[in-house]
Homo-oligomer: A and B are copies of this chain.
Amino acid sequence: MPRRIVIIGCGVSGTTAAFHARKTDRTAQIVLLGDEELPEYSRCGLPYAFSHVVPNLEALIGHDEAFYEQMNRIDLRLGWKATSINTEKRSVEAIRTKDDSTETIEYDALILTTGARPSTVPVSGSDLKGVFTVRTMNDIERLTNHLAENNARRVAIVGAGLTGSEMAEALLQQGIAVLEAEIVPEILPVVLDPDMASIVRTRAEEHGVEYHLQSTLEAIIGVNGRVSGVRISGKEHPVDAVIVAVRVKPNTELAKQAGIILGESGGIKTDQRMATSAPNVYAAGDCIETYDLITRRHVFFQLSTTAVRQASVAGINAAGGNAKYPGSTGVTTVKLFGLEIASFGPTTALSEKLGIHPASVRVTGSTRLPYYPGGKDLTVKLLADPKDGRLLGAQLVGEEGATLRANFASMAGHLGLTVEEFEQLETCYSPPLAPVWDPVTIAAQALLRKLQTSQAKSRPLTTVEN
């Protein structure tokens, strides 16, 4: 009897798990259940299809159904929703949305890639026509139609994180004004310290984003059941639609109902093999908690890059292989208004919350030597733990070169390098491509001096201010 592997969720994690299971076991039966009617598509690409940088939504689809079924012999069941799991009987109950037909599917191994869903906001008017989240193709289609039908001039975005900021740019590119409300004092609070984020905010404001920071969305106002405005911190603003981009929550209901253990963070708990507490049940992607190699605790990164790595490990192991996922540094990048913004590791605020009082420096260098045309400013902030000199994080903002340098710094974080070790790593140079001393190295040198000065003062536990 061939092994039967059932995968719940047909996002990038489910699909990646399926393909890796297939590579590992050429004879397994693989059933892939997706509750949308479409095969896997790039969620990260949605803002770019919305803005037409990518020609259309269909372009985001990774593979057509034939690729799953004929080329990889994966039993792809789209429009099927799993409703319960019985870990003793090793079976999944599923329902087909279009005709409510149900089926019990037995498994030898099960992989949960149930993903996450956007939060809504608990204010009056949040059920009005014209309130959107941005997670699915359907969301984007509905948003696009609503904006067109209402000849929309202005949109409110709740949340100034990655998705909210990408949508702000996409709206402005289409000539629609943007008002963005964020509860904390500065944008991009998860990936950047305020001094770094302010560089991005200034650029976004130049492009027309109207920010309302330290502000609370109090109500969504409607006329005839349709959004006509928002009240933010006591003031009303007319808008034609509201995009809620505040937080994404793991879909853990199925796991919880099946008695699978969740972590303290609320995500499904797995070991390094991506195995859950239930025998032969694995999980990966946005529905699980990920081990953070830097802060050494379990968190939600909810990044595609962590998802695909976890999913490949889950797929291999579900198919009888033996792979491990060590954890992540949370290295992230985003492009906004011509700036690359990349980072890994906790912000200063999060570090402080975790009891680490980081030493940090911020330097602005150029991506070329001064004499060579076309060099761009790159601002680099590095954080270290003054107790052991370990590199804790890097935040980079500039018109080029932030993304790949974040990977460089992230490797040092992953490996637990000290700033002293990090500073010694050579980088290559050529006038058209890179400067003799890389901005990241210059920042590392400055941080090393700061750490050494701090040590010399024999106050090992003092906070080093930036």
Residue interface mask A25-66, B partner, CB < 8 A = 1:
000000000000000001011001000011000011000000
Enumerate A168-188 residues with CB–CB distance to B below 8 Å.
Answer: none
Q: How far is the CB of A396 from chain B (nearest CB, A)?
A: 11
Q: How far is the CB of A160 from chain B (nearest CB, A)?
A: 17
> Which residue, of A303, A412, A430, has the highest number of chain B Cβ atoms within 10 A?
A430
Cβ-defined contact, A309 with B426, below 8 A: yes
Q: Report the copy number of this chain in the oligomer.
A: 2
Cβ-defined contact, A333 with B429, below 8 A: yes
Which residues does chain B contribute within 8 Å of A407, judged by CB atoms? 404, 408, 425-428, 438
Does A403 touch B at the CB level, under 8 Å?
Answer: yes
Chain A residues bordering chain B, tally (CB within 8 A): 57
Residue of B308, B335, B427, B433 touching A437 (CB-CB under 8 A): B308
Quick one: given A410-B426, A426-B306, A432-B335, are A405 and B403 in contact (CB under 8 Å)? no
Which residues does chain B contribute within 8 Å of A155, judged by CB atoms? none
Bound-state CA distance A189–B415 (Å) is 33
Does A436 touch B at the CB level, under 8 Å?
Answer: yes
Q: How far is the CB of A164 from chain B (nearest CB, A)?
A: 15
Residue of B12, B426, B429 touching A329 (CB-CB under 8 A): B426
Bound-state CA distance A260–B410 (Å) is 42
Residue interface mask A339-360, B partner, CB < 8 A = 1:
0101010000000000000000
Quick one: given A410-B426, A414-B426, A425-B410, are A431 and B44 in contact (CB under 8 Å)? yes
Does A434 touch B at the CB level, under 8 Å?
Answer: yes
Does A332 touch B at the CB level, under 8 Å?
Answer: yes
Cβ-defined contact, A333 with B433, below 8 A: yes
Bound-state CA distance A344–B425 (Å) is 13
Does A334 touch B at the CB level, under 8 Å?
Answer: yes
Cβ-defined contact, A428 with B333, below 8 A: yes
Cβ-defined contact, A333 with B434, below 8 A: yes
Which residues does chain B contribute within 8 Å of A411, judged by CB atoms? 408, 411-412, 425
Cβ-defined contact, B371 with A305, below 8 A: no
Residue of B42, B308, B335, B371 touching A371 (CB-CB under 8 A): B42
Cβ-defined contact, B53 with A426, below 8 A: no
Does A234 touch B at the CB level, under 8 Å?
Answer: no
What 9 additional pairs, Cβ within 8 angstroms, besides A45-B371, A335-B433?
Answer: A45-B372, A48-B372, A48-B432, A303-B429, A329-B426, A335-B432, A408-B408, A414-B424, A415-B415
What is A's interface to B at a CB cutoff of 8 Å? 12, 42, 44-45, 48, 53-54, 59-60, 303-306, 308-309, 326, 328-329, 331-335, 340, 342, 344, 369, 371-373, 401, 403-408, 410-412, 414-415, 417, 424-434, 436-438
